[in-house]
Chain A
Amino acid sequence: MFMRINDLDRLFGTMSLLQKKLDNLNSDYGQSYGYKWEVEGNSPRTNLYKNGDNFEIYAEVPGIGKDDLNIKIQGNYLEITGTRNSDAPEGYKTHKIERGIGAFSRSFTLPADVDSSKVEATLKDGILYLTLPKSEAAKPKKITVS
């Protein structure tokens, strides 16, 4: 079938409009964005930022004390494991339980080796903040031209 370029173009235009609408769906109807801390998936949500000589990792770990978290680093391999214990009080009737409990683990391969002796970990308001300095070998080096 013969189609003019113009028609085709209009078709693509419509398609990209639709695409845009779909992209905005989440923000238009925010409620559809289900968001739960689930242990069933066995991995907390994390963010990884690159910040000059450091990597920063944030992980969502609500209701987990620092004694229940373990962090293991070897070269560029990082593993976060832990357990969330039930905080159900004694002698109460249960109406609803949505917050998952149990053990979880998550491991990453970082983009570069880190200096494991200088890693800092902070737990604040249910978020684990990890600062991982890159090892000397992995840091960018400035080379002067002689």
Chain B
Amino acid sequence: MDKNQEITKREDKNIEKTRELYEAIPAVDIYENEDEILLHADMPGVVKDDISVNIDNGTLSLSGVRKLASKGLANWEEFSDLEYIRSFSVPQTIDVEKVDAELKDGVLRLHLPKSEAAKPRQIEIKTA
């Protein structure tokens, strides 16, 4: 019995708690037209300062940390602090300099404009 308890205890001690937060995948909607790609992501409870959007080498990564100010004793808790993480491959034709992000009511909206060169062009046919 003692031996078993010892093993259990060691197990508890050895767990490295490097990540305290749950990782969650936010639900997204993606739209596209000729000028830009639009990405809407649900991140309820995340404030502007805790969101990071990175575009690096064709990968767009979103991260948002939610910190709830919990008050008092919880009767039930169906959501808690977590980190929203998701990454996407973006085409090289995105103009990284002009990417624009807005956050409203817990929804992150990313505008990824296409670079001029990538936009469809109407080609005029010359009559000889």
Question: Given A49-B73, A63-B107, A94-B30, 17 more contacts at CB 8 Å?
Answer: A6-B1, A17-B7, A31-B23, A34-B24, A37-B44, A46-B78, A47-B74, A50-B75, A63-B105, A64-B105, A87-B40, A88-B31, A92-B33, A95-B32, A99-B42, A125-B103, A125-B105
Q: Which 6 A-B pairs have the closest CB atoms?
A: A126-B106, A51-B72, A126-B44, A35-B24, A13-B4, A62-B106
Known: A63-B42, A65-B105, A126-B105. A89 touches B75 (CB 8 A): no
| Distance of A35 Cα from B15 Cα, bound (Å) | 25
Known: A56-B72, A62-B107, A123-B105. A98 touches B77 (CB 8 A): no
- Give the A-B pair count, Cβ closer than 8 A: 156
Contact between B105 and A49, CB atoms less than 8 A apart:
no
| Distance of A2 Cα from B80 Cα, bound (Å) | 49
Residues in A whose Cβ lies below 8 Å from that of B97: none
Any B CB within 8 A of the CB of A4: no
Contact between A88 and B105, CB atoms less than 8 A apart:
no
Q: What's the nearest-Cβ distance from chain A to residue B76, in Å?
A: 5
